[in-house]
Amino acid sequence: MAGALDGVKVIDLSRILAGPFASQTLGDMGATVLKIEHPNGDDTRRWGPPFVTRDDGSVDAAYFFCCNRNKTSVCIDFTRDDDRAQLVELIKTADVLIENYKVGSLAKYQLDYNSLGPLNPGLIYCSITGFGQTGPYKERPGYDALIQGMGGLMSITGEENGPPQKVGVAVVDLMTGLYASTAILAALRHRDKTGEGQHIDLALFDVQAAMLANQAATYLMSGQVPTRKGSAHPSIAPYQPLKVKDGYIMLAVGNDKQFKSLCEAANCSQLANDERFSTNPARVQNRQALENQLTEHMRLKTIDEWIALGEQHRFPCGPINSIDRVFKDKQLCSRNMIVGEEIKMVANPIKLSETPIQNYRTPPLLKK
């Protein structure tokens, strides 16, 4: 069965994570993705350990495998005239080009949008940089951890009295990749109607600001600067890890009805009727008192007992799994979220009824 993007040709000039994650998403949905690599290969081929030995005896880091499946490697050193001419010929028949070079650095090779647009008027050219094509920071390099810091995410991540922390995965890169794939699909839709290609300008810094979501809304509408609250939610309670008999569970109580159900399961229905806790705004205001009283009851049962009670009484809670437990979880396994035989990969989570994602070719060998 052909994928939803069957017939779409993508030239992937990007490296590391954000751009490759975008092109992988397109490749998963059936696009033909040519990964253009310098003869030395994408840097992430060496970002290990751990490493994986390939069929040809070469060795690539596990990191490379998270964002480069369903692609074909084409080694081109576009600083060489012959190689650049080969690349331009490929671009002339492409639908999409994704790149993440520093602002202006491709112009000297005539590989920028202004140079390529006239050769292929329908080309969707997606540029991913740290700070965008305009503005005072446009020439600065941008890396995920740097942007997490500059973009406010680290200021709201970590324990209240501890140092700022970055998130455990490169969330800005990943979100930028998702924004890029969404923008590319929108641009393809526009081209279907008009025949016009266009330039997409995506900045990690912009994406990080957009990712602040409710935290940004809190500041912009109230002037209150959000602070770190550990794993607790700034606007909902109880919405945090709580200590139980044999470890911790994550509670995610989103409304008053769920809180009442939790209190019934914990044999502390009086808390749901206490004016300090009867509504969510009151619970947020009296968060510490609520945590102290609720923990006394939560400690009496195990993780498994609380999960069973959550299902029975219909309040959201779950275990705080290590990564190995995640990929052994019966729900995840039932959704076919692990693919591959010799080399296992996380499947694309998109479930399409008419054009399901079925093709999972392992990331390409470096073709020199």
**Active-site residue list:** 173
Residue 50 preceded by cis peptide, ω within 30:
yes
CB 166 within 8 A of CB 148: yes
Q: Comparing C-alpha atoms, which of 129, 123, 71, 119 is closest to residue 97?
A: 123
Strand partners, 61: 51
Tokens 């993508």, located at residue: 10
3-state secondary structure of 98: strand
CB 197 within 8 A of CB 127: no
Residue by residue, DSSP assigns 233-296 as: -SS-SS-SEEEETTEEEEE---SHHHHHHHHHHTT-HHHHHSTTTSSHHHHHHTHHHHHHHHHH
Kind plus residue range of the DSSP H or E element containing 221 = helix 213-222
CB 159 within 8 A of CB 2: no
CA–CA dist 58, 52 (Å, integer) = 8
CB 83 within 8 A of CB 36: no
